[in-house]
Structure 1
Amino acid sequence: MTQTDKPLDQTVTSGEADLDDLRRRLTSWLSGRPEVAGGAGGSGDSGDSGDARVTADGPGGVEVGEVTRPEASGMSNISILFDACWTSADTGERESAQLVARMCPLDDAFPVFPVYDLARQFDVMRVVGEHTDLPVPLVRWLEEDPAVLGSPFLVMDRATGVAPVDNPPYVFGGWLLEMSPEQRAELQRESVAVLAAIHGIDRPAELLPSLAPARPGEDDGLRAHVDEQREYYEWTVREGGLRIPVIEKAFAWIEANWPADPGPDVLSWGDARIGNILYEGTTPTAVLDWEMAALAPAEVDLGWFLYFHDLFQDLAVTYGFPGIPDLFDHDQVIGEYEQLTGRTVRDLPFYYAYAGLRQAVILARIHRRRIEFGEAEAPDNPDDYVLHNTMLYRLIAD
């Protein structure tokens, strides 16, 4: 496998903001919410003055505790953690919650994706929470005015649990590697059940009209999904990138191997992997990260789910580690999924290769971002912008 600088423990740069200032702004904004006694019902002012020690002397008795950042935060967004108390406008009782504000990337953060649609994420999380028993964090508020915190944001309840880490990948060490094979088998079953529950939501297109294809009259979810990925790739090229042979050959392979019958569209999680699930033991306690949700065949998620683990396992073997070879055996996962859903999984090799293509476009953009922030050098071979290019070449050759 072709490697880049420090591929297993990469530095990630995200936008910065003064946390004390964010605390003041959050207090002012929350005081203006209609759910808060005395709230004006608006988004509040910017809260650009006042002491950082916020006390319950504003409308609704709003208190916001210390604002912090999670130890690990994604590159496609900024998350901040805070506790808040307020007086309910409905009951007059004091309420409190541990919250997360998820913000759009700042303009100077070299975004990984061209669009970060918080309203769509808010709607998807709300629908999944209402129509399944999955532990999706309660989404409380959506603020689309960038003047409040400097970027649009949504606020949701904070979840507990731990996720298998990406950087360095969980196959190199940690709690999942230390589990017994029986515990990992149970975690696998629970994780596959998450996919089955998401895909079991009835009438997703009616519940989530914001996921409708961008092109009028287009009702083929797979076609729309692939076209969107190609547009994303072209955007990365226009935004300071370059054409990458392995990606373009993979797009050609996808078109040449199109499924005869892609099957019905479901609500596709999009970033379907265990790194986006929090666990307590083997039990999921939160299902996170819905920015890539779409209407697409169920196999889009299954391919991504399996490919992501295999990519990490391939990295482990490349660097002389055993990894976790007993986790996410393809036949086992397919059998468990089919038993839970009553569906027959079709054309998985196509969707598995498509997952490799999707990840290649994202990794190429991330590597370009690292170059922008001085964390890596530009490789001589364009394919080396894609960490797993050898694995992807192997897939499309087969």
Structure 2
Amino acid sequence: MPVPVQRDPEQTRRALAAWLAARSPRAGEVEVGPVRVPGAAGFSGEILMCDAEWTGSGPPRREPLAVRVAPTGHRVHPDDRWADQVRLLEVLDGTDVPVAPLLGHEPDPSVLGAPFLVMRRIEGRVPADLPSYHREGWLAALPPHRRRAVWLGGVEMLAAIHRLDPDALGLGFLDRPRYGTGHLTQQLAEYTRFLPFYGADGNRTATTALAWLHEHRPEEPAPPRLLWGDARLGNIVYDGETPAAVLDWEMAALGRPESDLAWFLHLDRHLSEGIGAVRLAGLPGRAETVRHYERLTGHAVRDLEYYEVFAAFRFCVLTARVTRLLEESGIMPPGTDFPLHRNATRLLARVLEEAADRCGGTAVPR
């Protein structure tokens, strides 16, 4: 679900053309084509697509561009950490993790009304969330063995990210010590503080899950790894069955890799079981995914069940925020029974019940 259009397309086109020309005066004039919003974009950031052509003294040069604009009116997270996202993309561009090349960024909000960055658009296909790739689309149309390759390619992207050395890359800026020490401590403290911001403070399943997460928090052995944050098939551009680019780093952090792996598994579970869809044949299951990840990284996965509750809780909270934004923007009347949040809450209750059964007792309010 894309962010609603927040700007005049023609004015935006002219502003981008002037900005690009000013950054490369030797390349001559810049012509920017129509600006459009991709239908498969997420709700947490404004994405604009366009093509630019430089007409200097040499042969014309054309570039497909993706412009990401910092969130303003439609902010899913209480702190967008925009500067950290830009800095992380600059760092990752020199690693084995494929990201769209960053062509430039603008911190001055006067150009487009908010800071923005411009990337070279990577052509390819992305598994869709809406409608779920388990129900239709290019992934569903593939034979099972090719679906398997797509899934394992996603796991390989997780492994590539987690093999990076945060200290060597200078990624300490992703730490959030004002919320405590360690990723879990920081995240749980932040969600506890901002639950009303997300609109989830009245959700009994979410508040019960948060209490359970505090009570059962596992150790966080050092050193932490880089976490993608929004690790899922829908944030990967594929060239055939091969990942060509990893997208969306706004939830990046430092912590235990199980956090990413659990999110990857849970978001797929939401898009199948969570919405009542049959999971595609050929996609490896949880156990095989974990084994493949462990072979790729040499990391023995531990406490995955805890991190799956953590993933289900975070997704429930984020969908509560999206529901609030839809109501505030007038897209959806207040009080509407929004399936996204309802399904996320139901699946959280199921995941929490499974965890409670393993630990003994009942964790979900009756």
Category of TM-score, reference length = shorter chain: 0.7 to 0.9
Q: Which residue of 2 aligns with 1:288?
A: 247
Q: Which residue of 1 aligns with 2:17?
A: 27
Matched, 1:102 2:68: yes
1:361 partner amino acid: V
Contact 1:66 1:82 in 2 (8 A): yes
Q: Give the Cα separation in 2 of the matches to 1:219 and 1:251.
A: 18
Q: Which residue of 2 aligns with 1:200?
A: 163
Q: Give the Cα separation in 1 of the matches to 2:327 and 2:206.
A: 19
SS at match of 1:121: helix
Contact 1:205 1:295 in 2 (8 A): no
Contact 1:309 1:328 in 2 (8 A): no
Change (3 A) 1:257 1:290: same
Q: Which residue of 2 aligns with 1:298?
A: 257
Q: Percent identity?
A: 35
Q: Which residue of 1 aligns with 2:28?
A: 60
Contact 2:36 2:48 in 1 (8 A): yes
Matched, 1:228 2:190: yes
Matched, 1:359 2:315: yes
Provide the aligned length of Structure 1 versus Structure 2.
353
SS at match of 2:301: coil
Contact 1:15 1:106 in 2 (8 A): no
Q: Structure 2 matches for 1:97-246, cutoff 5 A?
A: 97-107=63-73, 110-132=74-96, 134-204=97-167, 207-215=170-178, 218-237=180-199, 242-246=201-205
Return structure 1 stretches of 4+ with deviation > 6 angstroms.
Answer: none
SS at match of 1:353: helix
Q: CA deviation at 1:28?
A: 1.8
Residue range with higher mean Cα deviation, 199-208 or 289-298 = 199-208
Change (3 A) 1:385 1:66: closer
More helix by share: 2
2:310 partner amino acid: Y
Contact 1:221 1:296 in 2 (8 A): yes
SS at match of 1:62: strand
Q: Give the Cα separation in 2 of the matches to 1:300 and 1:36.
A: 45
Contact 1:267 1:294 in 2 (8 A): yes
Aligned Cα root-mean-square deviation (Å): 2.6
Q: Give the Cα separation in 1 of the matches to 2:123 and 2:193.
A: 36
Contact 2:227 2:254 in 1 (8 A): yes
Unaligned runs of 5+ in 1: 1-10, 38-58
2:303 partner amino acid: D
Change (3 A) 1:16 1:148: same
The equivalent position to 1:36 in structure 2, one of 5, 25, 29, is: 25
Contact 1:265 1:297 in 2 (8 A): yes
**Per-residue displacement from partner, 1:47-93 (whole Å, max 9, x unpaired)?**
xxxxxxxxxxxx832222232222322211111122223478xx988
Q: Which residue of 2 aligns with 1:81?
A: 49
Q: Give the Cα separation in 2 of the matches to 1:153 and 1:353.
A: 34
Q: CA deviation at 1:290?
A: 0.7
SS at match of 1:349: helix
Q: CA deviation at 1:281?
A: 2.1
Q: Which residue of 1 aligns with 2:327?
A: 371
Q: Give the Cα separation in 2 of the matches to 1:194 and 1:232.
A: 31
Q: Give the Cα separation in 2 of the matches to 1:261 and 1:144.
A: 35
Larger gyration radius, structure 1 or structure 2: 1
Q: CA deviation at 1:276?
A: 0.3
Change (3 A) 1:171 1:376: farther
Q: Give the Cα separation in 2 of the matches to 1:333 and 1:384.
A: 26
Contact 2:209 2:352 in 1 (8 A): yes
**Per-residue displacement from partner, 1:304-331 (whole Å, max 9, x unpaired)?**
0001111111135x3xx43325424111
Q: Give the Cα separation in 2 of the matches to 1:379 and 1:81.
A: 31
Q: Give the Cα separation in 1 of the matches to 2:246 and 2:133.
A: 18
Q: CA deviation at 1:391?
A: 1.9
Q: Give the Cα separation in 2 of the matches to 1:101 and 1:12.
A: 14
Q: Structure 2 matches for 1:204-353, cutoff 5 A?
A: 204=167, 207-215=170-178, 218-237=180-199, 242-262=201-221, 264-316=223-275, 318=276, 321-324=277-280, 326-353=282-309
Q: CA deviation at 1:136?
A: 0.8
Q: CA deviation at 1:256?
A: 1.4
Change (3 A) 1:19 1:113: same
2:202 partner amino acid: R
Matched, 1:390 2:346: yes
Q: Give the Cα separation in 2 of the matches to 1:61 and 1:396.
A: 58
1:257 partner amino acid: H
SS at match of 2:255: strand
Change (3 A) 1:327 1:62: same
Q: Give the Cα separation in 1 of the matches to 2:183 and 2:72.
A: 31
Q: CA deviation at 1:387?
A: 2.5
